[in-house]
Chain A
Amino acid sequence: DAGVIQSPRHEVTEMGQEVTLRCKPISGHNSLFWYRQTMMRGLELLIYFNNNVPIDDSGMPEDRFSAKMPNASFSTLKIQPSEPRDSAVYFCASSPTALPIHGYTFGSGTRLTVV
């Protein structure tokens, strides 16, 4: 398995533009997580999907952020409109079960810069 695949690796965009981050989880994993990494706050959970259904989106900062998981092999995180304070590394992770006893497998992240 190629692991969790995220794209793009880097994204530079202007304030106000729409940004879409993509994630392909490991086949057979039924839990998918989007995290945001910043210097100030570390890794923060944005949203959690189980069997393609959003279970907990309490970490999504505001209405400008939205996430979808149309099928078991694909998820997107969208920011519209983007702002400079959204600049961060966004990680997608997947897990075989809802209980992370075996931990998550992370993607390589998308480094977003909003100028």
Chain B
Amino acid sequence: ILNVEQSPQSLHVQEGDSTNFTCSFPSSNFYALHWYRWETAKSPEALFVMTLNGDEKKKGRISATLNTKEGYSYLYIKGSQPEDSATYLCAQSHSGAGSYQLTFGKGTKLSVIP
């Protein structure tokens, strides 16, 4: 994998359903994996930063896991609510040249139907 890839591109779920989506990234020179939540007409908002293989982070009903060896992260939302509707972006930073840069996936757009 050369780029950060997210799937699915979009997702519709019913209120109360739990859901998850995937971020895949190059595992070489890995430094950190970031998840952002982006509501239309607002700023992308940082959710999690993970650096270690096996990391798990949780904020309320949202949690994320990280596998740096195989190059993927999952974002889980338990009991989806309409206010969870947003685009969820993941981004990778790597060590070495250009380490200041976050490389973003194209996002997963989540719509929660009341």
Chain A residues with CB under 8 Å of chain B are: 3-4, 31, 35, 41-43, 45, 48, 50, 55-56, 91, 95, 98-109
Q: When chains A and B are docked, how far (Å) is the Cα of A3 from the Cα of B100?
A: 20
B44: A residues at CB distance < 8 A: 91, 106
Count residues of chain B with CB under 8 A from any CB of chain A.
Answer: 24
From B43, B99, B101, B107, contact of A109 by CB (8 A): B43
Known interface pairs A42-B106, A48-B100; A103-B43 also in contact (CB < 8 Å): no
> Residues 75-95 of chain B: 1 if any A CB is under 8 Å from the residue's CB, otherwise 0?
000000000000001010100
In the assembled complex, 7 residue pairs joining A and B whose CB atoms fall closer than 8 Å, in A order, are A43-B91, A43-B104, A99-B100, A101-B51, A103-B34, A103-B46, A107-B43
B43 touches A56 (CB 8 A): no
Q: When chains A and B are docked, how far (Å) is the Cα of A41 from the Cα of B34?
A: 18
Q: When chains A and B are docked, how far (Å) is the Cα of A55 from the Cα of B98?
A: 10
A50: B residues at CB distance < 8 A: 100
Q: When chains A and B are docked, how far (Å) is the Cα of A30 from the Cα of B34?
A: 20
A42 touches B34 (CB 8 A): no
A102 touches B101 (CB 8 A): no
From A4, A56, A107, contact of B101 by CB (8 A): A56
Q: When chains A and B are docked, how far (Å) is the Cα of A9 from the Cα of B105?
A: 24
Q: When chains A and B are docked, how far (Å) is the Cα of A95 from the Cα of B49?
A: 14
From A4, A98, A102, contact of B43 by CB (8 A): A4
B107: A residues at CB distance < 8 A: 42
From B49, B89, B91, contact of A101 by CB (8 A): B49
A4: B residues at CB distance < 8 A: 43
Q: When chains A and B are docked, how far (Å) is the Cα of A11 from the Cα of B44?
A: 20
B46 touches A105 (CB 8 A): yes
Q: When chains A and B are docked, how far (Å) is the Cα of A41 from the Cα of B93?
A: 18
Additional A-B contacts beyond A35-B104, A91-B44, A98-B99 (6; CB < 8 A): A42-B107, A45-B101, A95-B100, A99-B99, A99-B100, A107-B43
B52: A residues at CB distance < 8 A: none
> Residues 9-45 of chain B: 1 if any A CB is under 8 Å from the residue's CB, otherwise 0?
0000000000000000000000110101000011111
